[in-house]
Amino acid sequence: MKKFKFQLETLLKVTKMEKEKAEVELAKISKLLTEQQEYMEKLRQEMQQGQKDYERLTEGARITVGTLMTYNSFFAWKREQLQLQDEAILQSKAQKSKRLQQLLAVRNKLESIEQLREKRFNEFRQEQLFEEQKQLDEIGLQIYTRRVRRGEEQ
C-alpha cells in the first residue's frame, strides 16, 4: 500500500510557522499596550496627587509666585506626558489591530490548506479502497476461474 503524500506539505508547515510568528507578535504588542496603559494610569495618579497637594497648599495659607509657577510647570509637564502616553497607546492599539488582522489572515490561509489536505487525504483513501476492491475482485475471479476449470477437468 502506498503512503499518502500531500504536495503542499511544505506550504502547510511554513504557514503554521507564520501563524506562530503572528501569535507571538500579537502577544508582544498586547503586552506593550498593557504596560503603556498601566503607565498612563500611574501618570494620572501622579497628576491627581499633585492636584491634591496643590489644593492642600492653597487652602489656608498664602503661596508665593514661585510656588505657583512650580506647580504650573509641573501640571503642564504632566499634561504633556499624558498626551504623549495617550498617543503611544493609540499607536499600540493600531499595531495590535494590524497584528490581529495579520493573524486572522494567516489562520484563514492555514485553515484552507488543512481543508485541502483533508480533502486530498480522503481522495487518497477512496483510491486505496478502490484499488483494494479491485484486487479482491481479481482474486475472487481467479478463484472462480480455477474452480470452473477444475469442474471441467473432473
Per-residue pLDDT for 6 more than 80?
A: yes
Of the candidates 80, 71, 81, 67, the one whose C-alpha atom is nearest the C-alpha of residue 49 is 71
9-111, what's its fold? Answer: Helix Hairpins (1.10.287)
Sign of torsion, CA 132 135 137 143? negative
pLDDT digits (tens, 9 = 90+) for 59-110: 877 888 888 899 899 999 999 999 999 999 999 999 999 999 999 999 999 9
Residue 51: predicted pLDDT: 92
Whether the pTM exceeds 0.85: the reply is no
Mean pLDDT of 35-46: 97
Among residues of the chain, what percentage have pLDDT more than 90?
76
Average pLDDT (2-9) is 87
Average pLDDT of the residues in 39-65: 90
Domain boundaries, the chain: 9-111
**If you average pLDDT over every residue of the chain, what do you get?**
92
Distance CA(118)–CA(10), nearest Å, equals: 15
* Residue 154 pLDDT: 55
Instruction: Say which residues have a Cβ less than 8 Å from residue 86's Cβ, sequence separation at least 6.
Output: 40
